[in-house]
Structure 1
Amino acid sequence: MARLHASGRLALMHQTGYCQLKCNEIKKHQPSIDIEQELNGNQLNELNRPQNVNWESVLFHLEQSAKLGCLDAIQCLAQYYLNLMIDGPLSECPIKPDPVESRAHGFALISAAASAGDRMAMLYLAEAYYHGDYYSPDTSNHINNNNNGRKQEPDWLAAAHWYEMAAKVVTYDDDATEDDETNQRNPSFVKRSRSGFHSLSEWPIYRLQGRLGEMYAKGGHGLVRDRTKACKSLFGLNLDYTDGFKRI
Protein backbone atom coordinates (compact mmCIF):
# COMPACT_ATOMS: atom_id res chain seq x y z
CA MET A 1 0.00 0.00 0.00
CA ALA A 2 2.81 2.42 0.80
CA ARG A 3 4.41 1.82 -2.60
CA LEU A 4 1.08 2.23 -4.38
CA HIS A 5 0.44 5.55 -2.66
CA ALA A 6 3.99 6.81 -3.28
CA SER A 7 3.88 5.87 -6.97
CA GLY A 8 0.73 7.94 -7.45
CA ARG A 9 -1.44 4.97 -8.33
CA LEU A 10 -3.92 5.95 -5.62
CA ALA A 11 -3.62 9.73 -6.03
CA LEU A 12 -6.36 9.52 -8.63
CA MET A 13 -8.90 8.31 -6.09
CA HIS A 14 -8.06 11.04 -3.56
CA GLN A 15 -8.03 13.90 -6.06
CA THR A 16 -11.26 12.97 -7.89
CA GLY A 17 -13.36 11.68 -5.04
CA TYR A 18 -13.30 8.23 -6.60
CA CYS A 19 -13.46 6.56 -3.20
CA GLN A 20 -16.75 8.30 -2.40
CA LEU A 21 -17.99 7.49 -5.89
CA LYS A 22 -17.33 3.78 -5.39
CA CYS A 23 -19.09 3.84 -2.02
CA ASN A 24 -22.15 5.42 -3.58
CA GLU A 25 -22.12 2.81 -6.35
CA ILE A 26 -22.13 0.01 -3.83
CA LYS A 27 -24.99 1.56 -1.87
CA LYS A 28 -27.07 2.08 -5.03
CA HIS A 29 -26.04 -1.26 -6.57
CA GLN A 30 -24.87 0.51 -9.70
CA PRO A 31 -22.36 -1.08 -12.10
CA SER A 32 -18.71 -0.24 -11.52
CA ILE A 33 -17.23 2.74 -13.32
CA ASP A 34 -13.60 2.75 -14.41
CA ILE A 35 -12.68 6.38 -13.80
CA GLU A 36 -9.34 6.00 -15.59
CA GLN A 37 -11.26 5.46 -18.83
CA GLU A 38 -13.06 8.76 -18.28
CA LEU A 39 -9.81 10.76 -18.21
CA ASN A 40 -7.20 11.24 -20.90
CA GLY A 41 -3.46 10.59 -20.46
CA ASN A 42 -2.56 14.20 -19.65
CA GLN A 43 -5.18 14.38 -16.91
CA LEU A 44 -3.93 11.12 -15.40
CA ASN A 45 -0.32 12.32 -15.42
CA GLU A 46 -1.39 15.57 -13.76
CA LEU A 47 -3.18 13.69 -10.99
CA ASN A 48 -0.27 11.30 -10.39
CA ARG A 49 2.27 14.04 -9.68
CA PRO A 50 4.20 13.66 -6.35
CA GLN A 51 2.47 16.65 -4.77
CA ASN A 52 -0.87 14.89 -5.19
CA VAL A 53 0.27 11.78 -3.35
CA ASN A 54 -1.27 11.13 0.06
CA TRP A 55 2.05 11.07 1.94
CA GLU A 56 0.35 10.63 5.30
CA SER A 57 -0.92 7.29 4.04
CA VAL A 58 2.55 6.33 2.82
CA LEU A 59 4.01 7.02 6.26
CA PHE A 60 1.16 5.22 8.00
CA HIS A 61 1.53 2.03 5.97
CA LEU A 62 5.32 2.07 6.30
CA GLU A 63 5.07 2.45 10.07
CA GLN A 64 2.64 -0.46 10.23
CA SER A 65 4.94 -2.58 8.05
CA ALA A 66 7.93 -1.72 10.22
CA LYS A 67 6.06 -2.80 13.35
CA LEU A 68 5.40 -6.14 11.63
CA GLY A 69 9.12 -6.58 10.96
CA CYS A 70 9.28 -5.71 7.24
CA LEU A 71 12.97 -4.97 6.61
CA ASP A 72 12.32 -2.74 3.59
CA ALA A 73 9.99 -0.55 5.65
CA ILE A 74 12.40 -0.42 8.59
CA GLN A 75 15.28 0.60 6.33
CA CYS A 76 13.27 3.24 4.47
CA LEU A 77 11.96 4.83 7.67
CA ALA A 78 15.41 4.78 9.27
CA GLN A 79 16.81 6.68 6.29
CA TYR A 80 13.89 9.10 6.46
CA TYR A 81 14.24 9.90 10.16
CA LEU A 82 18.05 10.08 10.08
CA ASN A 83 18.06 12.37 7.03
CA LEU A 84 19.97 9.88 4.87
CA MET A 85 19.59 9.19 1.16
CA ILE A 86 16.27 7.38 0.92
CA ASP A 87 15.85 4.22 -1.09
CA GLY A 88 12.13 3.54 -1.01
CA PRO A 89 8.65 5.06 -1.11
CA LEU A 90 9.65 8.15 0.91
CA SER A 91 12.31 9.36 -1.54
CA GLU A 92 10.11 12.29 -2.65
CA CYS A 93 8.18 12.82 0.57
CA PRO A 94 7.80 16.56 1.32
CA ILE A 95 6.81 15.97 4.96
CA LYS A 96 9.70 16.62 7.32
CA PRO A 97 10.00 14.48 10.47
CA ASP A 98 9.82 15.98 13.93
CA PRO A 99 13.42 17.05 14.73
CA VAL A 100 12.94 16.30 18.43
CA GLU A 101 11.86 12.69 18.01
CA SER A 102 13.38 11.78 14.64
CA ARG A 103 16.88 11.08 15.97
CA ALA A 104 15.72 8.60 18.60
CA HIS A 105 13.19 6.92 16.32
CA GLY A 106 15.64 6.70 13.42
CA PHE A 107 18.39 5.23 15.56
CA ALA A 108 16.01 2.61 16.96
CA LEU A 109 14.92 1.67 13.43
CA ILE A 110 18.43 1.42 12.03
CA SER A 111 19.44 -0.69 15.03
CA ALA A 112 16.57 -3.04 14.19
CA ALA A 113 17.69 -3.17 10.55
CA ALA A 114 21.25 -3.99 11.61
CA SER A 115 20.03 -6.76 13.89
CA ALA A 116 18.04 -8.14 10.95
CA GLY A 117 21.22 -8.46 8.88
CA ASP A 118 21.33 -5.19 6.92
CA ARG A 119 25.00 -4.43 6.21
CA MET A 120 24.52 -0.73 5.52
CA ALA A 121 22.75 -0.36 8.87
CA MET A 122 25.61 -2.20 10.59
CA LEU A 123 28.13 0.17 9.03
CA TYR A 124 26.07 3.22 9.99
CA LEU A 125 26.00 2.09 13.63
CA ALA A 126 29.70 1.22 13.60
CA GLU A 127 30.64 4.66 12.29
CA ALA A 128 28.24 6.39 14.67
CA TYR A 129 29.72 4.65 17.70
CA TYR A 130 33.27 5.10 16.42
CA HIS A 131 32.90 8.88 16.04
CA GLY A 132 30.53 9.43 18.97
CA ASP A 133 27.67 10.51 16.72
CA TYR A 134 24.97 8.23 18.10
CA TYR A 135 21.76 8.61 20.08
CA SER A 136 21.65 7.74 23.75
CA PRO A 137 18.61 8.24 25.99
CA ASP A 138 20.98 8.91 28.90
CA THR A 139 22.14 12.18 27.35
CA SER A 140 20.24 15.42 26.99
CA ASN A 141 18.38 16.42 23.85
CA HIS A 142 20.67 19.42 23.68
CA ILE A 143 23.53 17.20 22.59
CA ASN A 144 21.57 14.79 20.43
CA ASN A 145 19.13 17.01 18.56
CA ASN A 146 20.93 20.32 18.04
CA ASN A 147 23.38 20.94 15.23
CA ASN A 148 26.02 22.53 17.44
CA GLY A 149 28.90 20.24 16.50
CA ARG A 150 29.02 18.57 19.94
CA LYS A 151 29.35 14.80 20.05
CA GLN A 152 29.27 12.14 22.70
CA GLU A 153 32.13 10.03 23.91
CA PRO A 154 32.90 7.39 21.25
CA ASP A 155 31.95 3.84 22.13
CA TRP A 156 34.58 1.65 20.47
CA LEU A 157 33.27 -1.52 22.08
CA ALA A 158 29.95 -1.16 20.27
CA ALA A 159 31.71 0.08 17.13
CA ALA A 160 33.97 -2.99 17.05
CA HIS A 161 30.95 -5.25 17.40
CA TRP A 162 29.21 -3.77 14.37
CA TYR A 163 32.39 -3.60 12.28
CA GLU A 164 32.91 -7.30 12.99
CA MET A 165 29.29 -8.10 12.13
CA ALA A 166 29.55 -6.16 8.86
CA ALA A 167 32.74 -8.02 7.98
CA LYS A 168 30.80 -11.29 8.21
CA VAL A 169 28.18 -10.20 5.70
CA VAL A 170 28.84 -10.31 1.98
CA THR A 171 26.38 -8.43 -0.23
CA TYR A 172 25.29 -9.59 -3.64
CA ASP A 173 27.63 -9.11 -6.57
CA ASP A 174 26.48 -7.06 -9.53
CA ASP A 175 25.68 -10.23 -11.50
CA ALA A 176 24.18 -12.16 -8.58
CA THR A 177 20.49 -12.75 -8.03
CA GLU A 178 18.52 -12.07 -4.88
CA ASP A 179 17.48 -15.73 -4.80
CA ASP A 180 21.10 -16.66 -4.06
CA GLU A 181 21.57 -16.36 -0.29
CA THR A 182 24.82 -18.30 -0.07
CA ASN A 183 27.38 -16.68 2.18
CA GLN A 184 30.60 -18.62 1.77
CA ARG A 185 32.40 -16.75 4.55
CA ASN A 186 29.64 -17.36 7.07
CA PRO A 187 27.06 -19.85 5.79
CA SER A 188 24.91 -19.51 8.91
CA PHE A 189 24.49 -15.75 8.48
CA VAL A 190 21.83 -14.74 5.98
CA LYS A 191 23.10 -11.94 3.82
CA ARG A 192 20.94 -8.99 2.89
CA SER A 193 21.11 -6.68 -0.10
CA ARG A 194 19.69 -3.19 -0.18
CA SER A 195 19.05 -1.94 -3.68
CA GLY A 196 20.71 1.38 -4.44
CA PHE A 197 23.37 1.01 -1.75
CA HIS A 198 26.68 -0.68 -2.51
CA SER A 199 28.24 -1.01 0.93
CA LEU A 200 30.78 -3.60 -0.20
CA SER A 201 32.42 -1.16 -2.62
CA GLU A 202 32.60 1.66 -0.05
CA TRP A 203 33.44 -0.58 2.91
CA PRO A 204 35.26 -3.65 1.55
CA ILE A 205 36.46 -6.37 3.91
CA TYR A 206 40.05 -5.14 3.98
CA ARG A 207 38.96 -1.67 5.11
CA LEU A 208 36.92 -3.14 7.94
CA GLN A 209 39.82 -5.34 9.02
CA GLY A 210 42.18 -2.36 8.94
CA ARG A 211 39.84 -0.29 11.10
CA LEU A 212 39.43 -3.16 13.59
CA GLY A 213 43.19 -3.73 13.70
CA GLU A 214 43.87 -0.08 14.52
CA MET A 215 41.14 0.02 17.17
CA TYR A 216 42.34 -3.10 18.96
CA ALA A 217 45.95 -1.93 18.71
CA LYS A 218 45.16 1.42 20.36
CA GLY A 219 42.33 0.47 22.71
CA GLY A 220 40.35 3.08 24.60
CA HIS A 221 36.81 4.46 24.50
CA GLY A 222 35.57 1.36 26.31
CA LEU A 223 37.55 -1.09 24.15
CA VAL A 224 40.28 -3.11 25.85
CA ARG A 225 43.56 -3.11 23.96
CA ASP A 226 44.07 -6.54 22.43
CA ARG A 227 47.18 -7.09 20.34
CA THR A 228 46.14 -10.63 19.48
CA LYS A 229 42.92 -9.45 17.83
CA ALA A 230 44.80 -6.57 16.22
CA CYS A 231 47.27 -9.00 14.66
CA LYS A 232 44.49 -11.25 13.41
CA SER A 233 42.76 -8.29 11.78
CA LEU A 234 45.92 -6.92 10.20
CA PHE A 235 47.14 -10.32 9.05
CA GLY A 236 43.82 -10.63 7.28
CA LEU A 237 45.06 -7.82 5.04
CA ASN A 238 47.83 -10.15 3.74
CA LEU A 239 50.52 -8.21 5.57
CA ASP A 240 53.68 -10.06 6.45
CA TYR A 241 54.46 -10.89 10.09
CA THR A 242 57.01 -8.07 10.61
CA ASP A 243 54.87 -5.39 9.02
CA GLY A 244 51.90 -6.43 11.15
CA PHE A 245 53.80 -5.93 14.39
CA LYS A 246 55.24 -2.62 13.19
CA ARG A 247 51.71 -1.28 12.83
CA ILE A 248 50.92 -2.37 16.39
Structure 2
Amino acid sequence: DINECERDACGNGTCRNTIGSFNCRCNHGFILSHNNDCIDVDECATGNGNLCRNGQCINTVGSFQCQCNEGYEVAPDGRTCVDINECLLEPGKCAPGTCQNLDGSYRCICPPGYSLQNDKCEDIDECVEEPEICALGTCSNTEGSFKCLCPDGFSLSSTGRRCQDLRMSYCYAKFEGGKCSSPKSRNHSKQECCCALKGEGWGDPCELCPTEPDEAFRQICPYGSGIIVGPDDSAV
Protein backbone atom coordinates (compact mmCIF):
# COMPACT_ATOMS: atom_id res chain seq x y z
CA ASP A 1 0.00 0.00 0.00
CA ILE A 2 1.23 3.49 -0.90
CA ASN A 3 0.84 6.07 1.85
CA GLU A 4 -0.71 8.95 -0.10
CA CYS A 5 -0.67 11.08 3.04
CA GLU A 6 3.11 11.47 2.73
CA ARG A 7 2.61 13.82 -0.27
CA ASP A 8 0.21 16.07 1.61
CA ALA A 9 -2.70 14.89 -0.48
CA CYS A 10 -5.33 16.75 1.52
CA GLY A 11 -3.74 20.21 1.60
CA ASN A 12 -6.04 22.14 3.95
CA GLY A 13 -7.11 19.10 5.91
CA THR A 14 -5.95 16.00 7.76
CA CYS A 15 -5.03 12.98 5.70
CA ARG A 16 -5.92 9.43 6.84
CA ASN A 17 -4.29 6.60 4.92
CA THR A 18 -6.45 3.60 4.04
CA ILE A 19 -5.75 0.34 2.24
CA GLY A 20 -5.19 1.34 -1.38
CA SER A 21 -6.40 4.90 -0.83
CA PHE A 22 -6.79 7.74 1.69
CA ASN A 23 -9.43 9.99 3.29
CA CYS A 24 -9.33 13.71 3.93
CA ARG A 25 -10.88 15.43 6.95
CA CYS A 26 -11.01 19.07 5.94
CA ASN A 27 -10.15 21.96 8.24
CA HIS A 28 -12.83 24.45 9.26
CA GLY A 29 -13.69 26.67 6.30
CA PHE A 30 -12.88 24.01 3.73
CA ILE A 31 -14.95 21.31 2.05
CA LEU A 32 -14.10 18.04 0.32
CA SER A 33 -14.20 18.33 -3.46
CA HIS A 34 -15.05 15.62 -5.99
CA ASN A 35 -11.29 15.23 -6.43
CA ASN A 36 -11.03 14.19 -2.78
CA ASP A 37 -9.09 17.29 -1.73
CA CYS A 38 -10.02 20.21 0.56
CA ILE A 39 -11.06 23.45 -1.12
CA ASP A 40 -12.08 26.79 0.35
CA VAL A 41 -15.73 27.35 1.24
CA ASP A 42 -17.02 30.73 0.01
CA GLU A 43 -19.04 31.60 3.10
CA CYS A 44 -20.21 34.84 1.47
CA ALA A 45 -21.90 32.86 -1.31
CA THR A 46 -23.31 30.10 0.89
CA GLY A 47 -24.42 32.21 3.87
CA ASN A 48 -27.85 32.99 2.38
CA GLY A 49 -27.32 36.70 3.07
CA ASN A 50 -27.13 36.17 6.84
CA LEU A 51 -23.43 37.01 7.09
CA CYS A 52 -22.12 40.55 7.48
CA ARG A 53 -25.52 42.21 7.67
CA ASN A 54 -25.06 46.03 7.54
CA GLY A 55 -21.78 45.48 5.74
CA GLN A 56 -20.02 43.57 2.98
CA CYS A 57 -18.81 39.98 3.18
CA ILE A 58 -15.23 39.44 1.95
CA ASN A 59 -14.22 35.82 1.35
CA THR A 60 -10.76 34.75 2.54
CA VAL A 61 -8.96 31.42 2.36
CA GLY A 62 -10.65 29.21 4.93
CA SER A 63 -12.80 31.99 6.33
CA PHE A 64 -14.37 35.41 5.64
CA GLN A 65 -14.28 38.98 6.92
CA CYS A 66 -17.01 41.57 7.42
CA GLN A 67 -16.34 45.02 6.04
CA CYS A 68 -18.90 47.13 7.90
CA ASN A 69 -20.80 50.16 6.68
CA GLU A 70 -20.16 53.54 8.31
CA GLY A 71 -21.71 53.64 11.76
CA TYR A 72 -21.31 49.89 12.31
CA GLU A 73 -18.58 47.64 13.69
CA VAL A 74 -17.87 43.90 13.55
CA ALA A 75 -19.78 41.95 16.19
CA PRO A 76 -17.80 39.87 18.72
CA ASP A 77 -18.64 36.66 16.82
CA GLY A 78 -17.28 38.22 13.61
CA ARG A 79 -20.34 37.15 11.63
CA THR A 80 -22.25 40.41 11.31
CA CYS A 81 -22.02 44.18 11.79
CA VAL A 82 -23.67 45.87 14.77
CA ASP A 83 -24.51 49.51 15.40
CA ILE A 84 -21.88 51.76 16.99
CA ASN A 85 -23.41 53.79 19.82
CA GLU A 86 -21.69 57.10 19.14
CA CYS A 87 -23.39 58.65 22.18
CA LEU A 88 -21.62 56.20 24.52
CA LEU A 89 -18.39 56.20 22.54
CA GLU A 90 -18.02 59.99 22.68
CA PRO A 91 -19.77 61.43 25.76
CA GLY A 92 -20.54 65.10 25.28
CA LYS A 93 -20.55 64.70 21.49
CA CYS A 94 -23.65 66.90 21.20
CA ALA A 95 -22.99 69.21 24.15
CA PRO A 96 -24.80 71.29 25.19
CA GLY A 97 -27.52 69.28 23.44
CA THR A 98 -28.66 65.68 23.82
CA CYS A 99 -27.24 62.82 21.78
CA GLN A 100 -29.75 60.29 20.42
CA ASN A 101 -28.34 57.05 19.04
CA LEU A 102 -29.79 55.82 15.74
CA ASP A 103 -29.25 52.61 13.81
CA GLY A 104 -25.93 53.23 12.05
CA SER A 105 -25.80 56.86 13.09
CA TYR A 106 -26.85 59.42 15.71
CA ARG A 107 -28.42 62.84 15.93
CA CYS A 108 -28.03 65.86 18.17
CA ILE A 109 -31.11 67.44 19.72
CA CYS A 110 -30.19 71.05 20.42
CA PRO A 111 -31.62 73.18 23.24
CA PRO A 112 -33.21 76.59 22.63
CA GLY A 113 -30.63 79.16 21.54
CA TYR A 114 -28.64 76.60 19.54
CA SER A 115 -28.94 75.22 16.02
CA LEU A 116 -27.56 72.07 14.41
CA GLN A 117 -24.49 72.84 12.29
CA ASN A 118 -22.30 70.04 10.90
CA ASP A 119 -23.75 67.54 13.41
CA LYS A 120 -22.99 69.85 16.34
CA CYS A 121 -25.06 72.24 18.43
CA GLU A 122 -23.77 75.73 17.71
CA ASP A 123 -24.82 78.93 19.48
CA ILE A 124 -27.30 81.11 17.60
CA ASP A 125 -26.21 84.74 17.50
CA GLU A 126 -29.63 86.30 18.01
CA CYS A 127 -28.16 89.78 17.59
CA VAL A 128 -27.28 88.92 13.98
CA GLU A 129 -30.25 86.67 13.23
CA GLU A 130 -32.84 89.07 14.66
CA PRO A 131 -31.60 92.64 14.15
CA GLU A 132 -34.91 94.03 15.43
CA ILE A 133 -34.44 92.75 19.00
CA CYS A 134 -33.20 95.08 21.72
CA ALA A 135 -34.79 98.09 20.01
CA LEU A 136 -33.62 101.33 21.65
CA GLY A 137 -30.79 99.39 23.31
CA THR A 138 -27.75 97.29 22.48
CA CYS A 139 -27.91 93.54 21.85
CA SER A 140 -25.18 91.41 23.42
CA ASN A 141 -24.94 87.76 22.37
CA THR A 142 -24.44 85.17 25.11
CA GLU A 143 -23.95 81.40 24.98
CA GLY A 144 -27.36 79.99 24.07
CA SER A 145 -29.13 83.32 24.44
CA PHE A 146 -28.68 87.11 24.38
CA LYS A 147 -29.26 90.12 26.59
CA CYS A 148 -30.38 93.67 25.94
CA LEU A 149 -28.28 96.46 27.42
CA CYS A 150 -30.51 99.47 28.00
CA PRO A 151 -29.28 103.08 28.32
CA ASP A 152 -30.00 105.23 31.37
CA GLY A 153 -33.68 106.05 31.73
CA PHE A 154 -34.74 102.93 29.84
CA SER A 155 -36.14 99.70 31.29
CA LEU A 156 -36.00 96.15 29.95
CA SER A 157 -39.41 94.78 28.93
CA SER A 158 -40.76 91.64 30.61
CA THR A 159 -39.85 89.60 27.53
CA GLY A 160 -36.23 90.73 27.71
CA ARG A 161 -36.35 91.64 24.02
CA ARG A 162 -36.81 95.41 24.07
CA CYS A 163 -35.71 98.53 25.95
CA GLN A 164 -38.54 100.85 26.92
CA ASP A 165 -38.02 104.58 27.33
CA LEU A 166 -39.54 105.46 30.72
CA ARG A 167 -38.40 109.08 30.75
CA MET A 168 -41.26 111.54 31.19
CA SER A 169 -41.14 115.03 29.70
CA TYR A 170 -43.07 117.66 27.77
CA CYS A 171 -45.12 116.58 24.76
CA TYR A 172 -45.59 119.32 22.18
CA ALA A 173 -48.45 119.38 19.71
CA LYS A 174 -46.59 121.61 17.26
CA PHE A 175 -43.08 122.09 15.90
CA GLU A 176 -42.78 125.25 13.84
CA GLY A 177 -39.86 127.43 12.83
CA GLY A 178 -37.46 125.14 14.64
CA LYS A 179 -39.35 125.52 17.90
CA CYS A 180 -41.75 123.33 19.87
CA SER A 181 -45.04 124.84 21.03
CA SER A 182 -48.43 123.95 22.52
CA PRO A 183 -47.31 121.52 25.24
CA LYS A 184 -49.78 118.94 26.55
CA SER A 185 -51.24 119.46 30.02
CA ARG A 186 -49.06 116.73 31.56
CA ASN A 187 -45.79 114.98 30.85
CA HIS A 188 -45.61 111.81 28.76
CA SER A 189 -43.04 109.27 27.66
CA LYS A 190 -41.55 109.80 24.22
CA GLN A 191 -43.42 106.78 22.92
CA GLU A 192 -46.77 108.04 24.23
CA CYS A 193 -46.13 111.49 22.79
CA CYS A 194 -44.82 110.55 19.36
CA CYS A 195 -46.86 107.36 18.76
CA ALA A 196 -50.20 107.54 20.59
CA LEU A 197 -50.72 111.30 20.91
CA LYS A 198 -49.15 112.10 17.54
CA GLY A 199 -47.14 114.95 19.02
CA GLU A 200 -44.61 116.75 16.87
CA GLY A 201 -41.96 117.29 19.55
CA TRP A 202 -40.92 115.85 22.90
CA GLY A 203 -38.45 116.48 25.70
CA ASP A 204 -36.48 119.26 27.34
CA PRO A 205 -34.77 120.48 25.28
CA CYS A 206 -37.38 119.62 22.68
CA GLU A 207 -36.54 117.10 19.97
CA LEU A 208 -38.56 116.46 16.84
CA CYS A 209 -40.71 113.30 16.86
CA PRO A 210 -39.72 110.92 14.05
CA THR A 211 -42.27 110.34 11.32
CA GLU A 212 -43.15 107.43 9.08
CA PRO A 213 -41.44 105.77 7.29
CA ASP A 214 -38.22 106.70 9.13
CA GLU A 215 -36.31 103.91 10.88
CA ALA A 216 -36.37 105.99 14.07
CA PHE A 217 -40.18 105.98 13.94
CA ARG A 218 -40.26 102.20 13.47
CA GLN A 219 -38.08 101.72 16.54
CA ILE A 220 -40.21 103.91 18.78
CA CYS A 221 -43.59 102.98 17.26
CA PRO A 222 -43.20 99.38 15.93
CA TYR A 223 -46.99 98.92 15.75
CA GLY A 224 -47.55 102.16 13.88
CA SER A 225 -49.15 105.50 14.67
CA GLY A 226 -51.70 105.60 17.50
CA ILE A 227 -50.36 102.48 19.26
CA ILE A 228 -47.72 102.05 21.97
CA VAL A 229 -45.78 99.00 23.16
CA GLY A 230 -46.83 97.49 26.48
CA PRO A 231 -44.51 96.07 29.20
CA ASP A 232 -44.75 92.63 27.55
CA ASP A 233 -43.98 94.03 24.08
CA SER A 234 -47.62 93.70 22.98
CA ALA A 235 -49.59 96.44 21.26
CA VAL A 236 -51.54 98.72 23.61
TM-score interval, smaller chain: under 0.3
Instruction: Compare the two structures and name the one with the higher helix fraction.
Output: 1
Q: State the TM-score, normalizing by the size of structure 2.
A: 0.21
Q: State the TM-score, normalizing by the size of structure 1.
A: 0.20
Higher relative contact order (CA 8 A, sep 6+): 1
Instruction: Compare the two structures and name the one with the higher strand fraction.
Output: 2
